[in-house]
Amino acid sequence: MLKVQEIKELIRAMDQSSLDEFKFEQDGTKLVLRKEKNEVQAIQVPTAPAVTEVQKQASVQQTPVQAVEETKAEQAQEQVQEQPSTANLHTITSPMVGTFYAAPSPDAEPYVKKGDEVNSESVVCIIEAMKLMNEIEAEVKGRIVEVLAENGELVEYGQPLFVVEPR
């Protein structure tokens, strides 16, 4: 299995090259690097369960990628793209790979729901990554137009989570 430093070096090398995609397979572990919108995204998929590692430069996922999760991410992005461009909407995206939680605990009310007013420092959800709970803030003042992620859903780096109408 590749070490984090080796993956970082591969990401840097690919970022500086003209390659759009790089695939590497070793001992049942598959690593796929893709450039998307001037970013390099890494997904590592072993055949045996492993510990998930999250990097700031790219997302590294060591659990099997499921077609259902990819479909949900694509549907969420399509929903955001269907919004009228004149509506001046802001999309809050996931800053990391992790599990999306809409509320601070299973029996608590969600931080926000459709129609709620938020300010730039309002916590809108939690993303759990490597057993750390990361509070995600709204980034803008406005009204929640749509919640794109479901509670307990695995989210990817850059995946749209909320659509906000700025005020």
Q: pTM for the full model? A: 0.49
DSSP reduced 3-state for 89: coil
Closest CA to 116 of 145, 91, 136, 92: 145
Q: Domains of the chain by range and CATH?
A: 1-65 (no CATH), 67-166 (2.40.50.100)
Residue 19 corresponds to which tokens in the numbers above?
């390659």
pLDDT in tens, 72-125: 556 555 554 554 444 589 999 999 999 999 999 999 999 999 999 999 999 999
Q: CA-CA distance, 89 to 102, in Å (whole number)? A: 21
CA pair distance 156, 165, nearest whole angstrom: 23
| Residue 68: how many other CB atoms lie within 10 Å | 9
Q: What's the pLDDT tens digit per position in 144-165?
A: 999 999 999 999 999 999 999 9
15 CA to centre of own chain: 20
